[in-house]
Chains A and B, each alone.
Chain A
């Protein structure tokens, strides 16, 4: 995932540097914390202290983002964050360029509940993403008229999923919301495919696995066992959904991580082209009343929350790609779910006829 973000940022930097119309040249300054949580704040501080860079594109996990925020606040830097997250944050030193819950989880449950049923089983890694996402999902499932048939967490990196699978088999939900990350997620998807072979109820056409952070980057890890399951995101590399020609398709980012990192550099280039010394204090004004060209389409960034307005897509896994099954454009961010309206999302609670 971090490789995808890096690839997106570097190819956007190359594009900006080649663009004769753009008066800027970007020189990337890189630090690799290597996934070691204690090295993020130090790397961030080092960039801000030893170079004139004021904008950092990076971090994948929420934990690493929260680690660098105090450093950004002290040194006056900005983080352009290109990954989906669990919401409930709006820091002035962060620009949130990937989806927040009203752009992934809410549309996912709204899509699935009427088609597959509203009873869900929640699984997650013992980590902020799983806890917060499942917490909101409990409300959404109740609002959709369903029941949470189970909620289970695995330690980060755990690959023994047998108990989880047994519980799902026993409770027979309509869908499973998967907030496991990394190897736990791959082990779970493989174990679930085996369950589906024993019992057709658990096939993806009857009881799909839903993810809100699964992209093309991870499909090779679940090749052959992930087909038919669903993921939500602002972008999938699906040429048919966008009517891309082969040439266009080859030039488009391979995943939403790459696309969001690319979009971050595009927006930053447009801002710096107008004001080469723009820093965090200038951003709300720079975001107001305009859009930025990007592989995600022309996107706006809300000056108040610094979250991007994004397309929302639901994709179905087909081999190592996603087939888009639902696409809505221009979904404004609502990181605190302040505008969430259960009636608008799931219809009024059904009145039962009492005879």
Chain B
């Protein structure tokens, strides 16, 4: 397992600040440059290069979905909401973007560093969970395949229990998960079936 680095490696990271020209933007870009990031501001749209950015700060007061070159809530990098008005509708919109951290306006001399670290950690945790859920969903979707594999193996004269145990030992032998092993077994029995048919022909 890799060690968690305590020295946050932010040097040379690219950050976009999506906000109309304003002293708040200067306060943010000053902090970003001091921390060692490469900062750019833009308004009213994020340019295409923003897709390769490491962080995006966005304005919640005047922001809208079409500013972002991705569907709402699917940003490929950590997002930090810049909140001025705490109107519930605006916060709801920031949440729909799935902001990973927030920074209250007016922005002073501090706050950007903790927002960066919190956003990165939250984004990575969210992405890891999403990957894990996708993998689990894929496995759940294979339930029927497992039933078919067990049925195919028990057709060779085993009890269901022994057929299942055999499927597990096949999976271990092939070093794949149970679902993949089941898919292989099903594919093999299908092949055998079609072979039989060709013999018959």
List chain A positions with a Cβ less than 8 A from chain B: 69, 73, 88, 90-93, 135-136, 138-139, 142, 304-305, 334-340
Contacts and interface: CB of A to CB of B under 8 A. Distances in A.
B7 A304 contact: no
A338 B5 contact: no
Nearest to B110: A91
A304 B34 CA distance: 5
Contact of B30 (A92, A139, A339): A92
A136 B109 contact: no
A90 B11 contact: no
A339 B36 contact: yes
Nearest to A335: B34
B33 A340 contact: no
B130 to A, nearest CB: 29
Given A91-B110, A138-B6, A338 B36 contact: yes
A340 B109 contact: no
Contacts of B36: 334, 336, 338-339
B109 A93 contact: yes
B34 A90 contact: yes
B60 to A, nearest CB: 25
B6 A139 contact: yes
A140 to B, nearest CB: 8
Given A88-B113, A339-B36, 16 more contacts: A90-B34, A90-B35, A93-B109, A135-B6, A136-B7, A139-B5, A304-B34, A305-B34, A334-B36, A336-B113, A338-B10, A338-B37, A339-B11, A340-B7, A340-B9, A340-B11
B31 interface: yes
B108 interface: yes
Contacts of A334: 36
A304 B33 contact: yes
B200 to A, nearest CB: 56
B199 interface: no
Interface residues of B, number: 20
6 tightest Cβ-Cβ pairs between the two chains A and B? A338-B36, A338-B11, A90-B34, A139-B6, A305-B34, A336-B35
Contact of B108 (A73, A90, A304, A337): A73
Given A338-B35, A339-B11, A339-B36, A73 B109 contact: yes
Given A73-B109, A88-B113, A304-B34, A142 B12 contact: no
Contacts of B3: 142
Nearest to B12: A338
Identify which of B9, B108, B113 gathers the most chain A CB atoms within 10 Å of its CB. Answer: B9
A73 B113 CA distance: 18
A92 B113 CA distance: 14
A90 B109 CA distance: 8
Contacts of A91: 109-110
- A305, A334, A335, A338: most-surrounded residue (chain B CB, <10 A): A338
A1 B123 CA distance: 44
Nearest to A101: B7
Interface in B77-109: 108-109
Interface in B5-56: 5-12, 30-31, 33-37
A339 B35 CA distance: 10
Contacts of A142: 3
Contacts of B37: 338
